């Protein structure tokens, strides 16, 4: 579902959104429940990725490198469209390759990565289907691609339910919730669910696994594994 009008100057808009709504704040959020959900999401991503020490791994739209920075593998490659995020990723990943690049046009040859990570990205890009196609293109045969998206409708229902049950302290005061709502409405170009992800992934192989995070009955995030078919 389209969430808002598409920005005309995407890279400039993205830089502004990153400055206004630091996408890395969820890893160290003041609310314990948000940090818990984020830890669960990252753990699900890493488990499905199953990166090995000899692997060459790419994270697309890496932010500050919080996810790929947890891996111990032969080569770690990362890219982001935001100069702010690239600087922070460089600081975290030290000598690893971090590029300023567009996720819709990856600057790599076909079939060069054993593992590809694309998490918390698709809501923020102009053409999520192009990003997914590019991720598959640069993966090796039998390579793994792990994707995650926020399920905003579920998150919003959870906040409303918590307030009705008198558990508003779990989701924060009205000002905090309002700020999160502005983040979603401004920075999310698409509102994802599993159906929309299927539509965007029409050229990808069938998903091998779907994890609903943090809980099966409350899937605030969907974490999905695709495996590129082996060459015949």
pLDDT digits (tens, 9 = 90+) for 4-18: 567 779 999 999 999
Count of Cβ atoms closer than 10 Å to residue 120 Cβ:
21
Rounded Cα distance, 209 and 151, in Å? 17
- Mean pLDDT, rounded, for 102-107: 97
Mean pLDDT across the chain: 88
pLDDT in tens, 134-179: 999 999 999 999 999 998 888 777 777 666 777 665 655 554 444 4
Whole-number percent of the chain with pLDDT over 90: 67
- The pLDDT, as a whole number, for residue 171 is 58
Q: Which domains does the chain have, with CATH numbers?
A: 10-227 (3.40.50.150)
pTM: 0.89
Rounded Cα distance, 210 and 44, in Å? 10
Rounded Cα distance, 128 and 228, in Å? 18
Rounded Cα distance, 230 and 101, in Å? 28
Checking if the pLDDT of 98 tops 90, the result is yes
- The pLDDT, as a whole number, for residue 167 is 62
Question: Best-predicted range by mean pLDDT among 26-35, 208-217, 223-232?
Answer: 208-217
- The pLDDT, as a whole number, for residue 182 is 46
């Amino acid at each position: 579902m389209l969430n808002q009008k598409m920005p005309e100057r995407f890279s400039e808009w993205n830089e502004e959104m990153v400055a206004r709504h630091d996408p890395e704040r969820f890893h160290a959020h003041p609310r314990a429940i948000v940090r818990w959900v984020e830890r669960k999401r990252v753990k699900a991503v890493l488990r499905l990725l199953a990166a090995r020490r000899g692997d060459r791994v790419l994270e697309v739209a890496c932010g500050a490198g919080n996810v790929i920075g947890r891996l111990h593998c032969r080569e770690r490659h990362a890219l982001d469209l935001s100069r702010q995020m690239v600087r922070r990723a460089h600081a975290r990943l030290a000598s690893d390759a971090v590029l300023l690049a567009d996720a819709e046009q990856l600057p790599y040859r076909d079939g060069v990565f054993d593992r590809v990570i694309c998490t918390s990205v698709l809501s923020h890009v102009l053409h999520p289907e192009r990003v997914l196609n590019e991720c598959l293109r640069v993966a090796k045969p039998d390579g793994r691609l792990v994707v995650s998206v926020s399920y905003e409708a579920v998150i919003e229902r959870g906040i409303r339910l918590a307030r009705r049950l008198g558990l508003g302290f779990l989701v924060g005061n009205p000002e905090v919730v309002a700020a999160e709502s502005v983040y979603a409405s401004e920075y999310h170009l698409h509102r994802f669910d599993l159906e929309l992800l299927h539509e965007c992934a029409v050229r990808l192989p069938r998903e091998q696994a779907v994890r609903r995070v943090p809980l099966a009955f409350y899937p605030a995030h969907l974490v999905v594994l695709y495996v590129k078919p082996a060459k015949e």
